[in-house]
Amino acid sequence: MDRVSREARQRADRKRGQRTVDRHGLQSSPSESLPAAISGRQDGPAAQLRGGHKIAGTVDHGSVARRTAPPAIETRSIPAQGAPMTLVRKLLDVSETVLMAICILMFVVMVALGIATVFFRFVVESSLAFPDELIRYLFIWLIFLGAAIALRRNAHAAIGVLVEYLPAPLKRGAVMVSTLASAGFFAVLIVKGIELTDRVVPQISPALEVSMAWVYAAVPVSGVFLLVYSIELLVWQRTAPADKLSTLGS
């Protein structure tokens, strides 16, 4: 009886093994036993899926074949676009910082000289001769260098009521024409400033007894910075969005 029961169980196991389909849709062969079908062990080539598709690789001992990672793609550093313009921009930033430091220093000296003049005149009762003259000359340099800083920061007074209502192409053209006119004026300022500075070299200031060329040199020096900053602004206006042209500058 025991042998008959064992043979009956074996025949039942073989029938269940033939009907077993694994969870991946792979149909086991009739000769495959139930434990092998349940564990999903498959040796040899890839098994066939429903619809005729094949699974790459083999499955062994119930483990799923790992997908191989794609080969690493070699990447190379791409040079930053507009690197020369970035370098120029940094140099202009440094020049603006230097001009600002000079203007602050001149303003501090002017204030100190003004206080010293008042002190000596009303406390010591002995006026100084050179502070008034030096304050005037420093004030001239402060105005011209400050004008260059204000141009780069778009701090100069402007009337843009009409420009605001123009279409985008006309607005761009209007601001670029204005910048070109300013650049032309700055070029004239440089040339005529150099001529004027050279002409006043023999003149000597009465109190400081220095050449007046040091005073008039403020015109061509500031003209150079104004021209360079206007060219930078013109380049920016070529590619800037139309809605940004009403607030020019960096």
Residues 136 and 44 grouped into a single domain: no
SS3 54: strand
Residues 94 and 212 grouped into a single domain: yes
Q: How far apart are CA 31 and CA 13, in angstroms?
A: 11
Residue spans of the chain under pLDDT 50: 21-81, 247-250
Report if residue 9 sits inside a domain. no
Residues 174 and 99 grouped into a single domain: yes
List helix spans (H) across 20-77: 34-39
Residues 216 and 95 grouped into a single domain: yes
- The amino acid sitting at 145 is L
Residues 135 and 212 grouped into a single domain: yes
The Cβ of residue 157 has, within 10 Å, a number of other Cβ atoms equal to 5
Provide the whole-model pTM: 0.62
Q: Residues near 46 by Cβ (< 8 Å), separated by ≥ 6?
A: 54, 55, 56, 57, 58
Report if residue 75 sits inside a domain. no
SS3 22: coil
Residues 110 and 230 grouped into a single domain: yes
Residues 29 and 131 grouped into a single domain: no
Residues spanned by the domain of 31: 16-60
Report if residue 6 sits inside a domain. no
At residue 187, the pLDDT reads 97
Q: How far apart are CA 149 and CA 225, in angstroms?
A: 9
Residues 114 and 232 grouped into a single domain: yes
Residues 55 and 116 grouped into a single domain: no
At residue 204, the pLDDT reads 93
Place of tokens 């060329």: 213
Count of domains observed in the chain: 2
At residue 232, the pLDDT reads 92
List the one residue out of 176, 220, 214 whose CA is nearest residue 194.
220
At residue 200, the pLDDT reads 94
Place of tokens 């119930």: 62
- The model's pLDDT over 20-44, given as tens digits with 9 standing for 90+, comes to 544 444 444 444 444 444 444 444 4
List the one residue out of 158, 135, 162, 166 whose CA is nearest residue 233.
158
Residues 95 and 134 grouped into a single domain: yes
The secondary structure of residue 80, as a DSSP letter, is P
Report if residue 135 sits inside a domain. yes
Residues 51 and 96 grouped into a single domain: no
Report if residue 72 sits inside a domain. no
Report if residue 76 sits inside a domain. no
At residue 19, the pLDDT reads 55
Residues 160 and 231 grouped into a single domain: yes
Report if residue 74 sits inside a domain. no
Report if residue 21 sits inside a domain. yes
The overall average pLDDT reported for the chain is 75
List the one residue out of 145, 143, 148, 140 whose CA is nearest residue 205.
140
